[in-house]
Structure 1
């Protein structure tokens, strides 16, 4: 046991002092949002969690944290995946399930940890068991930390500077982390990998203060490494502290025991990209080249992400071409990024090429990307756009409803005169209490009914739209008047004037002109003459040709 302990200590010392010399161990940082459980590769980017409604909105930081957590736990010279055995994976999975069964019983959680973690720590040195357990629990964000006061002293954990924490806001994995911190007197103290993972977890649940505390605690124990720096930088980044993230980067450069790796620069690139500081982002990439660091997949993905956010399509494609020509070849995550970029830029041909490369890997996690493609087709004027939209819509379940997408579909169907599909989308909007305020959409609906000469359908729609609070405009009533007149239903046409009055819409020159034309087409010359007199009364200009001789 003593010999094993010495080997473990030597291994940890080698990791600490060699943290900056092996950038290869930090090459798994992927700046995307979703990760497929089946294929194990990163899938999706959230330039916009919901693309149309917030195409420039913030990233889904919860999903992104789970993808980049490998950055902070990477070990040198051997990776965590190499040290974990099948026995460890199985035992950790059993421990995870046992903890999940005792979610609301803090005493039982402590008992389970004390009974199982001790043997795991003895069998698997270097903290790999705890790191692996935290990684598995990290995928269960709904399991919130409860009863933390019963696990450890609040004063010991939080201190006077961190009294604002609320236990219910923590991730369930923090229970394990807190228990592990309490075991400092045991023969297996916490390792830098455990601290890095803990910092990442604290940042994920928006507890930057706890992340700073863990970072300082690791530094006091001589466990500060590039991975812990990277973890805190990312915690700053995803909680909106870009300035602190950059300041920490300069602190890392001044640290004599550690130096930035390619993963560190990847974080900086993503920070600048999120802030649309494209000049800073390019300078960071230039520094990578000057330091002879090899840009990896994550580097290029971060650059592409920044260019997409800034809508710099030429730079996006140029970076993609660099990947194809260099050693860091595009991956599925890259193709998904390019798919989103081409969709936003309206380049449907290249968007479809990217879709062919990734469609077999796409799951329900990529519904936002599917909606981005649908939005791109809606903005186009292609002949087969409806067919392509319908094919994509089949991938989106009914419960994943988006009001903006439904309204967009209403307009597209209206423009294509697909009256049945349009009315189906309209019915769904009414059922889901979606209100339409865009006058362009209302006019598109009116035009479709007009071209189809469906006056009764139009009348029904107007009544429903009025009661549902939709945007009401004169063109709706004008269209109904014209259609009634075309069928010589003059009495119903005249009743439309009362409907306009009830909707607080006054009669315009166009309204009176429609009346005049309608009466004239139906042979009602006396009524037509009365309308001319009404137009003169309101001071409207009248062509000489319509005046009675």
Structure 2
């Protein structure tokens, strides 16, 4: 269970679970900068038409999502037959309004595919363009319907062509874990005579190999990309950095970041994550100052990553910085593992009061500690303080909360009872251990022997030696038979 939590946090810190979905489509909805060319009446008319189209598309998408409680709702047909839906196809001939509609519906891929099917079968409508087919292929991949994705790809070849269709199908394959089919499709694209892979095609392949920590293959693709004369994009550098991040090759990641003349915010955020995981606190802090607003507004998972980085380093300064970062964590973002990390940190730093406060809140939040390592870290602080009453209270809380118990908890309490001369309480701990671990062990018997030996209880000492004989354990040094 502890290993599962660790792997889950590790994946959470590294990346989203599906980082492979690069957008294979060029941006069709971005408008030109109005200050870059003289403003004319035709220009104003074009902008007005575009704004009207965007408003109509957004309104229709909202109606479809709100009226279609499920992906097979009969209300969808009536909405698509309305004048508003049909006007979308008349507003522009380049397909951009319809592509925007599909984009707004992509979180419901089955619903979006029904809208595409309506568009495909609609009479007197403009012919489908490559971008529309590519969007539908990507949606079929998100809906985990690869047969439909392949069917649409084959259908599109008769009326449209270009690497954008291959890119969409490669994305669909990768989304569904069909790595070999994605790579095979890329090689098929390279064999095309009229066109070949573009920058997006190579970026998809880099993303694939980077996500699977296949660094050699990723670097081979980059060399092939450069030798083919395909220009790199910002996404290319991001995919390389992401691959090196997952493989924990920090020098290569820094080298790629340093090769960027003007790093954008997303690459800085990626580099901040790398510094946090690598534990390079000084560089992490300098990078955080550059993107502090973006972290707090967008990439809030990086706050947790930095807290974990400080917790590994330890020290008074790290504790202070962690407490400042914790203030930024919202209630819905307060993961159980983060709470456990803070408990472990306070235990390592000897801050017993702060640790117990967090343990109290962990019980209120029903957070379960399933790691023996964390339990032993807490135990070490109690043992160092020598306060057996506090240790006993903690063990009772752990028993009630269903936390991971280990023999060391009870052994340490036996040692502390022995030091205080409370031999009866020491023996009672053995009975408690028997309820969890019926099989006796040498270390527990050795603690009993030393406890009775320090108090001069010869009869009890001989009983313990007899038990050691019975279970075949080696006798303590200096024991007299």
TM range (shorter): 0.7 to 0.9
Mapped partners of 1:50, 1:491: distance in 2: 43
Equivalent position to 1:231, from 141, 152, 168: 168
Native 8 Å contact 1:435 1:470 kept in 2: yes
Aligned to 1:162: none
Mapped partners of 1:50, 1:509: distance in 2: 34
Provide, for residues 345-376 of structure 1, a one-character-per-residue CA deviation record: whole Å limited to 9, x for no partner. 22222222222222211247634333322222
Aligned to 2:200: 263
How far 1:507 moved relative to its partner?
5.9
Cα 1:253/1:547, change in 2 over 3 Å = closer
How far 1:477 moved relative to its partner?
1.9
Equivalent position to 1:178, from 117, 123, 128: 117
Which is further off, 400-409 or 126-135?
400-409
How far 1:300 moved relative to its partner?
0.6
Q: Is residue 94 of structure 1 aligned with residue 59 of structure 2?
A: yes
Mapped partners of 1:111, 1:493: distance in 2: 78
Native 8 Å contact 1:343 1:351 kept in 2: yes
Mapped partners of 2:30, 2:406: distance in 1: 64
Q: Is residue 131 of structure 1 aligned with residue 99 of structure 2?
A: yes
**TM-score (structure 1 length as normaliser):** 0.74
How far 1:547 moved relative to its partner?
6.9
Equivalent position to 1:314, from 237, 251, 265: 251
Mapped partners of 1:500, 1:213: distance in 2: 64
Cα 1:319/1:229, change in 2 over 3 Å = same
**TM-score (structure 2 length as normaliser):** 0.84
Native 8 Å contact 2:13 2:273 kept in 1: no
Mapped partners of 1:480, 1:376: distance in 2: 33
Native 8 Å contact 1:73 1:196 kept in 2: no
Q: Is residue 304 of structure 1 aligned with residue 241 of structure 2?
A: yes
Q: Is residue 532 of structure 1 aligned with residue 461 of structure 2?
A: yes
Mapped partners of 1:256, 1:543: distance in 2: 83
Aligned to 2:272: 339
Look up the SS of the partner of 2:127 in the other structure. Answer: coil
Provide, for residues 221-240 of structure 1, a one-character-per-residue CA deviation record: whole Å limited to 9, x for no partner. 2x122222211111112211
Equivalent position to 1:438, from 371, 375, 378: 371
Mapped partners of 1:473, 1:303: distance in 2: 44
Greater RCO, CA 8 A, separation 6+: 1
Look up the SS of the partner of 1:232 in the other structure. Answer: helix
Native 8 Å contact 2:13 2:305 kept in 1: no
Aligned to 1:189: 127
Native 8 Å contact 1:484 1:490 kept in 2: yes
Look up the SS of the partner of 2:75 in the other structure. Answer: helix
Aligned to 2:140: 202
Mapped partners of 1:99, 1:385: distance in 2: 50
Look up the SS of the partner of 1:54 in the other structure. Answer: helix
Native 8 Å contact 1:49 1:368 kept in 2: no
Which is further off, 247-256 or 212-221?
247-256
Write out aligned runs for 1:279-298 (5 A): 279-298=216-235
Mapped partners of 1:491, 1:94: distance in 2: 77
Mapped partners of 1:59, 1:101: distance in 2: 28
Provide, for residues 117-156 of structure 1, a one-character-per-residue CA deviation record: whole Å limited to 9, x for no partner. 2222222221111011111222xx2xx4xxxxxxxxxxxx
Mapped partners of 2:475, 2:229: distance in 1: 77
Provide, for residues 223-281 of structure 1, a one-character-per-residue CA deviation record: whole Å limited to 9, x for no partner. 12222221111111221122221222222222233222112111111122223332222
Native 8 Å contact 2:14 2:245 kept in 1: no
Provide, for residues 151-178 of structure 1, a one-character-per-residue CA deviation record: whole Å limited to 9, x for no partner. xxxxxxxxxxxxxxxxxxx443223212
Cα 1:207/1:509, change in 2 over 3 Å = closer
Cα 1:322/1:498, change in 2 over 3 Å = same
RMSD: 3.1
Aligned to 1:14: none
Aligned to 1:37: none
Cα 1:298/1:218, change in 2 over 3 Å = same
Native 8 Å contact 1:268 1:284 kept in 2: yes
Native 8 Å contact 2:213 2:246 kept in 1: yes
Native 8 Å contact 1:273 1:305 kept in 2: yes
Mapped partners of 2:236, 2:426: distance in 1: 66
Equivalent position to 2:309, from 373, 376, 386: 376
Structure 2, unaligned runs of 5 or more: 33-45
Cα 1:437/1:135, change in 2 over 3 Å = closer
How far 1:488 moved relative to its partner?
5.0
Structure 1, unaligned runs of 5 or more: 1-47, 145-169
Native 8 Å contact 2:20 2:211 kept in 1: no
Aligned to 2:88: 120
Native 8 Å contact 2:137 2:168 kept in 1: yes
